[in-house]
Amino acid sequence: MTADPTEAGSGSADPDLPESFARVLADYERHLAVERDLTPHSVRAYVGDVTGLLEHAARLGHHELDGLDLRLLRSWLAKQQTLGLARTTLARRATAARVFTRWAARTGRASTDAGALLGSPKPHRTLPPVLRRDEARDLLTEAATHAADGTPEGLRDAAVLELLYATGIRVGELCGLDVDDLDRERRVVRVLGKGRKERAVPFGKPAEDAVDAWLVRGRPELAADRSGSALFLGARGGRLDQRRVRELVHARIAAVPGAPDLGPHGLRHTAATHLLEGGADLRVVQELLGHSTLATTQLYTHVSTDRLRQAYRQAHPRA
């Protein structure tokens, strides 16, 4: 849903900021919410990081954006580092600073783009745990067993797990699906992803069967006036909550012997890894997952290589 321009920036200004900075920050928040159409969560994250930067500049005696130079930006990041913040957090804040200074220069609020040469600390990227193929099969078999009693919750949970693994979509994307987003004839689901970018993701016959069972025998039992067009419903008939999906995934995976404890994002990692292991092209996987850059998708090639290396060491006599 597009942010209301009358609400963007309201009540978020830091009272300790100089008035000149507070005005700029309010303008920037409106830009993020209205012009870039970012989610409220993303707006809060960007504004929070920039507020910290402007507070740092004010403490050093600066009250105008032209006081933000590369040296000041680096001192701000260095201060964050002394507080023991993770490298991923520092990298995010460096990105937020660059986005802000680029906007300030482009809109004439600053004479130069101070962040153009600002580097980011490279985060330590840990390889996400994923299910093996047999563990994924056992997970879905377990879900089908719970659905066999015909309860609407069991049918829904089986459909949720099948669709998460079949498509690799995010939990927020899954909970935001409407019934009309399913093209059951072509076995494609229309997903609204990050940045409100729409993409079409295919799914297979097992997921189709599970979703059909939910729509025919499960959803009508939970549907209420508040259900609207939501594909997946909670116990009271409203749109299924992300927290409930996370609880479901953790609970079902816990029943699979030896499987790592994963949430919905772990199933997304698993789907991507199994696609690449099955020979899918990296750019195809990028499009299916809705990644804006190929670099994000390449993480899964590292996962596949790591699993291959582990299997080699266990099996080869001269590994």
Which sequence positions are flagged as catalytic? 170, 194, 265, 268, 291, 300
> Which tokens hold the place of 209?
């069967």
At what angle are helices 133-147 and 152-167 packed, to 10 degrees?
160
What values do phi and psi take at 318, rounded to 5? -120, 30
Residue in 230, 306, 310 with CA at minimum distance from that of residue 269? 306
Residues 6+ apart with CB under 8 A from 131: 139, 253, 256, 259, 260, 262, 266, 267, 270
- 60 with 72: CB under 8 angstroms? yes
Q: How far is CA 187 from the centre of its chain?
A: 24
- 93 with 56: CB under 8 angstroms? no
The SS3 call for residue 202 is strand
77 bridge partner residues: none
Name the one residue in this structure whose structure tokens are 């078999």: 141
- CA distance linking residue 267 with residue 130, whole number of Å: 7
